[in-house]
Structure 1
Amino acid sequence: MGLSWQQGPLGAGPVGHFLTPDPLPERLLFAERLRRRMRVKFNDTWIADSDDVVLLHEPGRYPVAYFPRESVKAGALVAADKVTQHKDLGLTAWYTVSVGDRATQRAAWELIDLPEYAADFQDRIAFAWRAMDAFYEEDERILGHAADPYHRIDIRDTSRTLEVRVGDTVVARSQNPIVLFESGFAPRWYVPLADIDSTHLTSVEGQTFCPYKGLCDYYDVAGVARGAWYYANPYREVDRIAGTVSFEPDRVEVYLDGKRLELEPGQRVVAHGVDRGLDVDEVKGL
């Protein structure tokens, strides 16, 4: 989640609500300076480099980074014979990105008919994530989409008792699980492998990708398809969940201090998938 994605405050299904006497507009867009140096690589060449990037938060979309036109490599943008209409911000002109022997059509765009209130995006270029080789903040590659500054993860130890069952089968029982709080989502409880009867876990094919945690693998649990997941090599910011497994409370029975957990309405996570043109080996290598 972030400001405008999934259950974010400006998203389509916010988990909270604004305390205002009048209804807010159906769509609210938000612009802000990223305040981080950001770079874009294409055909082994840096084609954009700026510490003056502006993020656009738009309902139902990942944040999009807009670079000052002067920060884009000269000659890298070739005007395309394509103009579309943005729902809120006027006309959008599209570009082919071309460097050396490589060119990708509709790989960048510019908002060219902006209303006065959206002048933050005047003379700025955005790049299609899948079309580029890589995006960086400073010297570290970022994956999936531009990092959302409103997305937060907190991990806490707890002494509460967590038990996982499938029918009469006890799959796991722990008195020292850890809980992961992620912006806008229900808490997720992770159980150390030592507290799980691993004979009931069967690894399955298929991974998803979280830009904030890394590659996620899945287990079938006592015959229940994809009833649990884990991060074998989580990003260092969340490495406390390494060696733990989380169970899906709407697929298997998860009890916390004797009370069965259920996902709150609207709390189901929309998986990213191994997205944005990344393959598994590439993500694991970072």
Structure 2
Amino acid sequence: MADEGVDHPGLIVPVGHVEPVPRRIRAQVGGRWVFDTRRARYVWEWPGYPQYSIPLRDLAEGVLTDDGRVGRLGPGPARRHSLRIGSEVREGAAWVWDEGAPAELIGTARFRWDALDAWYEEEEQVFVHPRSPYTRVDALRSSSRVRVEVDGTVLADAPSSVKLFETGLPTRYYVERTHVDWTLLRRSDTVTACPYKGRTSEYWSFARGPVVHEDLAWAYDFPTVSCAAVAGMVAFYNEYVDLYVDGVLLPRPTALSRAQWDKGQRAGS
């Protein structure tokens, strides 16, 4: 039975699930290609999103060195390897799956995302983590009125919105900037990225007296094509504001659910 306090579909992919990647996957370090493959595998180490596992035969020659350390990731055992390409060295950059891991993963390596400088699906750069084939993101124009308050202070009141629906996350409500009270917000230096929406262009915080609410709102001025409808609009974290949609106060999602989603990264914005 669905939790009545949750307004979005949950995650359904079990840890250890493996599927073929139908896209060309490449990555660079120091301007050099580490690998170029059309035979990658998706592997889920937790239900939120997959990682790529790259066939060893598609790596640049001699880039991995066994560190002599054996560990266990969600799907099974693996050996840690460091990466050397050109003058660049990245310690502990990859795990090569060992005996006892799913058969589809044997002979492949799972790279730590931030150990590589840039990842590409076909010709498009991908940020933060691979896009899950089981995640859907839809940005839909809506006539729903949205009002945002913090501690009784109205930060935004918009007659319409764009609702962004993303599998496993609360619905996000984007409003036009003209309906935000900018006298109450100050810009921060925070920048986050999302594999489905792109990089944020701005974040804003709200302060009243000694109480500071950091990074309550954000915008994507140049989102991905699939989320173009939110370009230049502003959204607020449902977790930290009072959000009224068509006059009805929405229950706040727990901050823990967001932390579980991105494991400490702000990918859920």
TM class, shorter-length: 0.7 to 0.9
Shift of 1:179: 0.8
- Note the 1:205-224 alignment, pairs <5 A: 205-216=189-200, 217-221=202-206, 223=208
- 1:68 positional shift: 1.7
Instruction: Find the partner of 2:20 among 21, 33, 48.
Output: 33
1:179-258 matches, cutoff 5 A: 179-216=163-200, 217-221=202-206, 223=208, 225-226=213-214, 227-258=216-247
Q: CA deviation at 1:221?
A: 3.7
> Contact conserved, 2:20 with 2:40, CA < 8 A, in 1?
yes
Q: How many residues align?
A: 251
| Equivalent position SS for 1:206 | coil
Asked if 1:154 is matched to 2:138, the reply is yes
After superposition, the C-alpha distances for 1:202-253 in whole angstroms (9 at most, x for unaligned) are 2233233222223333223463613322223323321221222122344333
Secondary structure, in 3 states, of the residue corresponding to 1:146? coil
Q: Does 1:44 align with 2:26?
A: no
Contact 1:186/1:263 (8 A) holds in 2: no
Q: Does the 8 A contact of 1:7 with 1:266 survive in 2?
A: no
- The worse-fitting range, judged by mean Cα deviation, of 264-273 and 130-139 is 264-273
Q: Normalising to structure 2: TM-score of the pair?
A: 0.81
Match of 2:76 among 78, 89, 97: 89
RMSD: 2.7
- Relative to structure 1, is the Cα distance of residues 222 and 160 closer, same or farther in structure 2, using a 3 angstrom cutoff? farther
- For 1:41 and 1:176, the matched residues in 2 are separated by 42
CA contact (8 A) 1:232 1:242 kept: yes
1:76 aligns with 2:60: no
1:96 to 1:267, Cα distance in 2 relative to 1, 3 A: closer
Please point out which of 99, 114, 117 is paired with 2:100. 114
Per-residue CA deviations over 1:183-208 (Å, capped at 9, x if unaligned) read 12221111111222322222233233
SS of the aligned residue for 2:22 comes to coil
Q: Distance in 2 between the 1:40 and 1:171 partners?
A: 42
Percent of paired sites with the same residue: 28
What is the letter of the counterpart of residue 194 of structure 2? C
| Length-normalised TM-score, structure 1 | 0.77
8 Å contact from structure 2 (residues 119, 126) kept in 1 = yes
Query: Contact between 1:166 and 1:222, CA under 8 Å: does it hold in 2?
Result: no
- For residues 66 and 153 of structure 2, the distance between their equivalents in structure 1, rounded to whole angstroms, comes to 62
Q: CA deviation at 1:104?
A: 2.4
Mark the runs of 5 or more structure 1 residues left unpaired by the alignment: 1-5, 11-26, 276-286
Which one has a bigger Cα radius of gyration? 1
- The ranges of structure 1 where at least 4 consecutive aligned residues each deviate by more than 6 angstroms after the TM superposition are none
User: Which letter does structure 2 place at the counterpart of 1:151?
Assistant: T
